[in-house]
């Protein structure tokens, strides 16, 4: 049995706990959150009653795997120290690595701890193909993301247009993946993931749309290079508990955890 530490117990974290509960091959022993609200306590008591709810991983705790699904601040607060201690980690908040020097810091911490950090594919597919294509040489990668207007609430898109009055698709952002991830950290993890697998944050081009004609999160990727060309469109259902998050992000986290306990992994 593998012991798991989970960072975050919001919409993603609680859904991950739900899908992992009852699997005899693993046990969530620690749930790391800034504050143990009544809702979090009830969720953990129901799905992982053996787990301790703590603000940080104890110095003497040695989980077999640390699972991050809490947001960008968790990288600095939890992931970097855990990697330096040699704790293998999977990270869902890939957009955090768009901050200057953060990707290098994460890699350095893993090297110092002689361990590995796995960046999850999250809401997008084709990451394996894109990373393989990079070996032969990539010429261009363009990502276009479309979400319902309400999914952009609380972001800079509110200054660009009246989200509630849109009758047709409106481009709220056009630029690099680094800029997109910094301006829309809760919505543009896909752009950051694609860039880290491909051409990098400053050469991956991104367009983001608020589109009243869609009720799903629509991701479109075009890549060209020595391998040929790739075009991928995904229409992801949003997570019921949080329309800013794709349900596939939760499944991506669960897949990564289960691959760590599986005899045959793909």
Residues that constitute the known binding site for NAD(+) = 123, 189
Query: What pairing do the DSSP bridges indicate for beta strands 205-210 and 170-176?
Result: antiparallel
Q: Can you point out the beta strands (E) in the chain?
A: 2-7, 26-32, 52-54, 65-68, 89-91, 117-119, 138-147, 170-176, 205-210, 217-225, 228-236, 238-239, 242-246
Q: Which of 264, 257, 253, 259 is nearest to 65 (CA)?
A: 257
Q: Which of 72, 78, 219, 220 is catalytic?
A: 219
Query: Which helix (H) or strand (E) element contains residue 189?
Result: helix 189-197
Q: Is residue 220 flagged as an active site residue?
A: no
Tokens read off for 261:
């306990």
Q: Are 173 and 161 in contact (CB under 8 A)?
A: no
What is the spatial distance between Cα 154 and Cα 134, in angstroms, rounded to a whole number?
A: 35
Residue bearing tokens 């020595």: 226
Tokens read off for 255:
């897949």
Residues in the annotated binding site: 123, 189
What is the spatial distance between Cα 112 and Cα 110, in angstroms, rounded to a whole number?
A: 5
Q: Give the residue numbers marked as catalytic.
A: 219
């Amino acid at each position: 049995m593998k012991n798991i530490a989970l960072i975050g117990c919001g919409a993603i974290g609680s859904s991950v706990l739900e899908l992992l509960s009852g699997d005899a091959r693993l046990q969530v022993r620690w749930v790391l959150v800034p504050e143990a609200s009544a809702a979090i306590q009830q969720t953990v008591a129901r799905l992982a009653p053996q787990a301790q709810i703590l603000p940080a991983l104890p110095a003497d705790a040695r989980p077999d795997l640390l699972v991050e699904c809490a947001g960008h601040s968790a990288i600095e607060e939890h992931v970097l120290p855990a990697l330096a201690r040699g704790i293998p980690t999977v990270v869902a908040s890939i957009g955090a690595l768009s901050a200057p020097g953060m990707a290098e810091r994460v890699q350095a911490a893993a090297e110092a701890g002689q361990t590995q950090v796995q960046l999850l594919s999250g809401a997008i597919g084709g990451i394996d193909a894109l990373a393989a294509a990079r070996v032969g040489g990539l010429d261009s990668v363009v990502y276009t993301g479309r979400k319902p207007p309400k999914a952009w609430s609380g972001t800079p898109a509110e200054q660009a247009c009246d989200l509630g009055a849109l009758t047709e698709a409106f481009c709220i952002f056009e630029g690099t993946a680094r800029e997109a991830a910094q301006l829309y950290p809760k919505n543009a993890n896909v752009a950051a993931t694609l860039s880290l697998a491909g051409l990098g944050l400053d050469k991956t081009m991104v367009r983001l749309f608020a589109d009243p004609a869609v009720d799903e999160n629509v991701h479109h990727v075009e890549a060209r290079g020595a391998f040929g060309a790739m075009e991928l469109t995904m229409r992801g259902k949003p997570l019921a508990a949080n329309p800013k998050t794709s349900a596939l992000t939760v499944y991506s986290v669960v897949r990564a955890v289960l691959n760590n306990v599986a005899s045959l992994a793909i």
